[in-house]
Amino acid sequence: MLGPAAALPAPQEEAPRRQRFFDPRRMFSYSRREALELRRDPIRLTLAVLDSVILMFVMGYGISMDVEDLTFAVLDRDQTTTSRDYTLEHSGSRYFIEQPPITDYADLDRRMRAGEISLAIEIPPGFARDIARGRPVQIGAWIDGAMPARAETVRGYVQGMHALWLSGRTKARAPVNIETRFRYNPDLESLVAMVPAVIPILLLLLPAMLTALSVVREKELGSIVNLYATPTTKLEFLLGKQLPYVVLAMLNFLLLTLIAVTLFGVPLTGSFWTLALGALFYCFAATAMGLLISSFMRSQIAAIFGTAIVTMMPALQFSGLLDPVSSLEGAGAVVGQVFPTTHFLTISRGVFSKALQFGDLSGAFIPLLIAVPVLTGLCVLLLKKQDG
């Protein structure tokens, strides 16, 4: 006879799985999805590469500090062999193109107002006689100052030509002679200075804009609700969105570097791997800036304009593109010191022009290394994982 049925053991409840703070698989799933969207949109992918090349040529040739073929004319009140010899000193230079002589002050003013001449040289009467007798002589140089930077360059040219003419007439040589030599860019060519500086500008604008658009597009389409309904963390979502554009930015970097060396003829004298490592950190910082901007934007049009303003204004004005950061003051100096473009521009110019290696540029890597986690952390804090 069987006894009472033994009580069945109660089924044990499975302990809930603990959600991982960071799961690379979830991150790479977003990266794969973003990469597939890029592949399915060949126009956006092509423009991302083609725009960089077009802007490289526009900015490389368009931003020039060279001042050549300056038109000048002479108001010669002496009309002697010595005064004509002084005029020939300028007209024989590659920097100047001589125009017909000036007749009087009214003619000088009219022609400079019309833009016919950028420089007018006035040689006083008695010029040859006073030079022969060793008397002090004052020569007038009238420069078009509508563009101050260009005017300062012209003044330097005039002073240099004047000193060259005087040295040619001096019979006794002084015991001390100063010879000026320019290192790293001996011919003072703008391309050698500007092309390495354009690469950081382009690696900032387009990757930041594309990354910002990738997040804002999801807000517009409403597909960002997938983030709200899944266990994916904000950090996984942001890094997953960021990685494809970092890869695309690095491909742009390789293409721009190749164009700089082959088509522009700018020699790469330093360590390429140092430049590539700096570009990698910089691309992470640039795309993180795009993610940060996307936190405040609700439409793609606003994201495009917002990214262009936030990235280009500091990069062009405060990064040392045209004027050194050390010459800035106040808030501009602070922006110049903390903005990532400043430090990658130092790396780019140092590698291209000065043959610098990683050890020489290690100080410029530290701000880039700090900028990446700081910008990413701000993105995580500002991204909302819920509608509101």
* Residue type for position 59: M
Say if CB 208 and CB 241 are below 8 A apart: no
| Distances, alpha carbon 374 to alpha carbons 71, 176, 381, in Å | 52, 55, 11
Q: Is 351 among the domain residues?
A: yes
Region of poorest pLDDT, from 100-104, 135-139, 147-151, 157-161: 147-151
Domain span at 122: 70-169
CATH number for the domain harbouring residue 162: 3.40.1710.10
Q: Is 163 among the domain residues?
A: yes
What DSSP designation does 339 have? -
The C-alpha torsion from 234 through 223 and 27 to 300, rounded to 10°, is -80
What DSSP designation does 6 have? P
Mean pLDDT of the region 348-372: 92
Mean pLDDT of the region 221-230: 76
Q: Is 387 among the domain residues?
A: no
Q: Give, rounded to a whole angstrom, the gap between the first and last alpha carbons of the chain.
A: 69
In this structure, are 29 and 91 located in the same domain?
A: no
Say if CB 241 and CB 211 are below 8 A apart: yes
Which of 134, 169, 204 is the last residue before a domain boundary? 169
In this structure, are 287 and 372 located in the same domain?
A: yes
In this structure, are 101 and 212 located in the same domain?
A: no
In this structure, are 160 and 213 located in the same domain?
A: no
The tally of domains found in the chain comes to 2
Contacts 24+ apart (CB under 8 A), 164-170: 164/89, 165/85, 165/86, 165/89, 168/89, 169/131
**Helices and strands in the chain, H and E counts:** 14, 4
Q: Is 198 among the domain residues?
A: yes
* CA 286 – CA 47 distance, rounded (Å): 18
In this structure, are 91 and 134 located in the same domain?
A: yes
* Residue type for position 33: R
Closest CA to 364 of 282, 306, 299, 308: 282
pTM over 0.85: no
> Average pLDDT over the chain, rounded to whole?
83
Output the pLDDT for position 15.
47
User: Residue 60 pLDDT more than 70?
Assistant: yes
